Structure 1
Amino acid sequence: MTYHPKSDFLATLVERGYLADCTDLQALDEAALAGPIVAYIGYDATAPSLHVGHLLNVMLLRLLQKTGHQPITLMGGGTTKVGDPSFRSDERPLLSPEQIGQNIASMQRVFARYLDYDAAERPALMLDNAEWLDGLNYLEFLRDIGRHFSVNRMLSFESVKSRLDREQSLSFLEFNYMILQAYDFLELYRRYGCRLQMGGSDQWGNIVNGVDLTRRVLDAEIFGLTTPLMVTADGRKMGKTAGGAVWLDPELLSPYEFWQFWRNVADADVGRFLRLYTELPLDECARLGALGGAEINEAKIRLAGEVTTLLHGAEAAAAAEATAREVFERGGAGQELPRLELGAGDVADGISVAQLFVRSGLAKSGKDAKRLIAEGGARIEDEAVTDPGRILDAEALAAPLKLSAGKKRHALVVLKAGATS
């Protein structure tokens, strides 16, 4: 018989589709009903920003706080020095402490859009596992913590097994990662009374290790919960596009480009994404997701607006929508488009059309730009480009130019003041 949670947090979590697995759903529900629970999700600082693939679990932390519980965003200042091997084919490149610190600082700005770290009651906590991992004594750690782990069991976890089955190297450094993550849960329980670790379904093995370790060492009742692996209707991993990762930091991806990502999702994904990535009522999500024909485009615009508002604010979302309507419906060159700014040195000898498409991010390389042009997908000011070697000088670039790659990707080329003199 399927258990139906009664606590606001878990009932909403199940209704909206966030749940993949839970170590003991009924016991966790009873704990949530008995009083506020503290829960965490860990984030290694391997990149300068979170991306859309992280957003599901960020929304889960937001739901946790909005239903009266306390979220912890645990930054992996310590574990990033090791690298999570889960479902990777090779070892992550090791980062310097300075790079890790910079990455954590930029990620904090994103979290602050979704979580309240200054709430009077149960504020979100931002912690760094370097606080307890950096000072570990290796021999004491092996004796006190390592003895609770079975190598046979560790080898059986799918994240490790898949790597070994493909005969790909797994370093001893990486093999220690799951022990360190389990130790994080133990320390968070000791220090903050944290009773729940959440994460993506690829973290199930690591989460279960933490639950088992804390029960063995402290005889504590704690829980693990995972969200589904997010793939789009066409089977692609959520957040990956032809242009690369869909970053949540506006310095790496403009609000307009973020808005466009959601505007362009597949029809079949609209209802599910509305449930998971917005806070619209479920009946409204169902209504919008059921629209067909041209009407589904308005549902996608609503999805893009709601998600962009949460991350970048209502003004940025409105500006992105206005730019999109200007570009697509009226053929204009909206000011919120991604911009390529050129200086005098860039245009001293002119610049080729192919270079413009590469430097604006609409093509990955000169070869990619030439292919785009040859296939008729490149346009300047809505006119087809036929010659990749065509040179544009400062006079030709005196006014902003709109570049288009296909029907959905655009950029503005702008010459800095004084570059024409």
Structure 2
Amino acid sequence: MTSNLFEELAWRGLIYDKTEGVEALLANEKVTAYIGFDPTADSLHVGSLLPILSLVRLQQFGHTPIALIGGATGMIGDPSGKSQERNLLSAEQLAANVAGIRAQLSHFIDFERKGNPAQILNNYDWLGSFNFIDFLREVGKSFTINYMMSKESVKRRINSEEGISYTEFTYMMLQSYDFFHLNKHHDCVLQMGGSDQWGNITAGTDYIRRQGGKKAYGVVSPLITNSSGAKFGKTEQGNIWLDPKRTSPYRFYQFWMNAGDDEVVHYLKVFTFLKQAEIEALAQAVQDAPAERTAQRRLAEEMTLLVHGRDELEKVQRATELVFGGRAEGLTADLLLSIEQEMPLTEIPREKFLNDGIWVAELLVSCGVTKSNGEARRLITGNGLKLNGTTLSDFKANIKLDQSVEDRYFMINKGRKHRFLVKVI
């Protein structure tokens, strides 16, 4: 069992680089630390979970976390880790994004914890009042062009074909001032972030030192990528969001279930609160019985529980059993509604299912389950199709409304891999 936050971060593989003295600081003192969140959208995504969980771990070990939302810096755009300029957001969109992120962060960190309640701050509250001349005099004077160009995030962009605008070039100064403000007014001595933030964080510690502030420190974690080296959380369907309106809990669960055997143990370390012994046991399960996907299932359960809660986890687990197992038990319209976007969906008028109903082959062809009546006959004869968990056995049968789930849905399983949904309208 780890005795302090630094040991906890280290065994989980969450230390990429650090300023001098961080290890002793986290081992011997209770500090206030912050992490910044860029409001580029009204929802955070799974890539944001690493900094979110860093705040949670801070609080668990008795430190005081600050989540800083970049209401001001979001107007500028951070060049770190970016190959091109960001599109500037309108004030209205930025305000909506800040509100959305504030609500999501409230789900994870405790603002009423006795002794070390968390805080959420918005850097627009202090940067928004700066005029250009005052900022240049008070902050810009402390940064040389040589110093700023030596930072990897700036150097990479300057050497790129896209280049870097003066707007994004100044981001380092804004973030440094954030750290200075928090150091002065909130006794914040530590900034955490991803490894792409190292240049901005050390610029902040240098600026605080020059301004005679309290000793300041920085620590960064490795950026998380998948086994192919691509950005974590990106799929063919786009980002995996924390907002269930953007990414359904079912798809969220399946994202973690699809982790590779070479990824899942690392994900368990950095994204869950499971103890070392339990993760080691799951790692052994990957070696001994990879086909059972025990580690992936535990990862998906832990992450869905954390982000969406127990009710949604149980619903997703039932949906997964039904969809992949073709089972009829527990099939409800509400459950099918939750996975409506996860499989091919065909809407068919209610009239088609009244009276004598619709011929099964016509239904299968109209939904794209089969290309022809002949293929439908072969699959039915070979017991290769299920309707709402029941094997179709009669090629001449008609499908009626009373066979549907609550007069609203039919789910068709074609073999083990293909699933189709029919919605009665």
Whole-angstrom distance in 2 between the partners of 1:327 and 1:222: 52
Q: Which runs of 5+ in 2 are unaligned?
A: 353-363, 369-384, 389-400
Secondary structure of the residue that 2:83 maps to in structure 1?
Answer: coil
Q: Decide which structure has the larger Cα Rg and report it.
A: 2
2 CA distance for matches of 1:108 and 1:410? 38
**Are 1:245 and 2:236 an aligned pair?**
no
Question: What RMSD over aligned residues (CA atoms) do the two structures have, in Å?
Answer: 3.3
Query: Kindly tell me: are residues 164 and 121 of structure 1, through their superposed partners in 2, closer, same or farther at Cα, counting changes over 3 Å?
Result: same
- Contact kept in structure 2, 1:340 and 1:411, CA below 8 Å: no
Instruction: Pick the aligned partner of 2:409 from 394, 400, 405.
Output: 400
Partner of 2:382: none
How far the C-alpha of 1:409 sits from its partner, in A, is 9.0
Q: Does 1:272 align with 2:266?
A: yes
Letter in 2 for 1:16: R
Equivalent of residue 165 in structure 2, options 155, 162, 171 = 171
Distance 2:117 2:293 in 1: 38
Partner of 1:338: 339
Contact residue 32 and residue 66 of structure 2 kept, 8 A: yes
Aligned to 1:22: 18
Matches of 1:250 and 1:308, distance apart in 2: 11
SS at match of 2:262: helix
2:325 aligned to which of 326, 329, 334: 329
Aligned partners of 1:75 and 1:410: how far apart in 2?
A: 42
Note closer, same or farther for the CA distance 1:406–1:169 as it changes in structure 2 (3 Å cut).
farther
Is the counterpart of residue 313 in structure 1 residue 289 in structure 2? no
Counterpart of 1:222 (choices 216, 225, 235) is 216
Which secondary structure state, in structure 2, belongs to the residue aligned with residue 39 of structure 1? strand
Matched, 1:150 2:144: yes
Please state whether the residue corresponding to 1:234 is helix, strand or coil: coil
> Identity of paired residues, percent?
38
**Distance change in 2, residues 1:179/1:409 (3 Å):** farther
Residue in 1 that maps onto 2:299 = 303
Change in CA separation of 1:234 and 1:142 when aligned onto 2, cut-off 3 Å:
same
Map residues 60-209 of structure 1 onto 2, 5 A cutoff.
60-209=54-203
In 2, are the aligned partners of 1:85 and 1:174 still within 8 Å (CA)? Answer: yes
1:210 to 178, 197, 204: 204
Q: 1:399 to 1:87 in 2, by over 3 A?
A: same
- Displacement after TM superposition at 1:404 (Å): 8.6
- Aligned pair in 2 of structure 1 residues 90, 402: CA closer, same or farther (>3 Å)? farther
- Find the aligned partners of 1:278 and 1:400 in 2 and give their Cα distance: 36
- AA matched with 1:108: R
8 Å Cα contact 2:36-2:69 kept in structure 1: yes
Q: Once the 2 structures are TM-superposed, how far is the Cα of residue 9 of structure 1 from its aligned partner? A: 0.8
**CA offset at residue 331 of structure 1?**
5.1
How far residue 147 of structure 1 moved from its aligned partner, in angstroms, is 1.3
Give CA deviations for 1:269-298 in whole Å, capped at 9, x if unaligned: 111111111111111101102223345412
Q: Which moved more, 1:316-325 or 1:200-209?
A: 316-325
Counterpart amino acid of residue 308 in structure 2 = H
Q: CA-to-partner distance for each residue in 1:239-277, whole Å, 9 max, x for gaps?
A: 111110000111211111111111111011111111111
The question of whether the paired residues in 1 share the 8 Å contact of 2:6 and 2:27 is answered with: no
CA distance in 1, matches of 2:80, 2:71: 18
1:136 partner SS: coil
Which amino acid is 2:194 matched to? G
**Which amino acid in structure 1 is aligned with residue 340 of structure 2?**
R
Residue number in structure 1 paired with 2:228: 234
Distance in 2, Cα, partners of 1:90 & 1:156:
19
Q: Structure 1: which 5+ residue stretches go unaligned? A: 1-5, 358-378, 383-394
Contact 1:308-1:317 at 8 Å conserved across structures: yes
Shift in alpha-carbon separation, 1:181–1:407, aligned structure 2, 3 A: farther
Deviation at 1:153, TM superposition (A): 2.1
Q: Write out per-residue CA displacement over residues 133-160 of structure 1, whole angstroms, 9 at most, x where no aligned residue.
A: 1100222221221111121221222222
**Given that residues 263 and 300 in structure 1 are in contact (C-alpha distance below 8 angstroms), is that contact kept between their aligned partners in structure 2?**
yes
Cα gap change, 1:31 to 1:262, in 2 (>3 Å): same
Matched, 1:40 2:34: yes
Q: What residue in structure 2 maps to residue 369 of structure 1?
A: none
Compute the TM-score of the two structures, normalised by the length of structure 1: 0.80
Answer yes or no: is 1:288 the counterpart of 2:282.
yes
Structure 1 residues 144 and 280, CA gap change in structure 2 (3 angstroms): same
**1:410-421 matched pairs, under 5 angstroms:** 412=421, 414-415=423-424, 419=425
Q: Which residue identity does 2:295 align to in structure 1?
A: A
Runs of 4+ with >6 A deviation: 345-348, 379-382, 395-398, 403-411
Aligned partner letter, 2:339 = P
For 1:178 and 1:144, the matched residues in 2 are separated by: 14
The answer as to 2:29 corresponding to 1:52 is no
1:52–1:247 Cα contact (<8 Å) kept: yes
Q: How many residues align?
A: 374
Task: Kindly provide the amino acid, as one letter, of the partner of residue 203 in structure 1.
Answer: Q
